[in-house]
Amino acid sequence: MPTEQPSALQFPCEFPIKVIGNNSETFEIEVLTIIKQYVRNLRENAIRTKPSKNSKYLAITITINAQSQQQLDTIYQALNQCPLVQIAL
């Protein structure tokens, strides 16, 4: 049975999550809904968006106060299960 590797991060910490998907009306709403399920007290200024050059895609960066590696793993798993998400970094 593999042993769990300790995280290189020191928790709690500020951690940016970048999510890329098609630039649609529902993409940003869906991503924020997922993040808010796992992060309490998400600050307004913690969210940045940037459309691609031709505006086909939207990159959303959300900086959260991460409490644990398990929290981050759960968030990434939920984001990757969302059909609107192309990439979660």
Q: Which domains does the chain have, with CATH numbers?
A: 13-88 (3.30.70.260)
Q: Over the stretch 38-80, which tens digit does the pLDDT of each residue have?
A: 998 888 899 999 999 999 999 999 999 999 999 999 999 999 9
Cα 71 to Cα 75: distance, rounded to the nearest angstrom: 6
For residue 2, pLDDT over 60 is answered with no
pLDDT band for position 4 (cuts 50, 70, 90): low
Band of the pLDDT at 1, cuts 50, 70, 90?
low
The long-range contacts involving 38-43, CB below 8 angstroms and separated by at least 24 positions, are 38/71, 38/74, 38/75, 38/78, 39/64, 39/65, 39/71, 39/75, 41/65
Tokens of 11: 């928790």
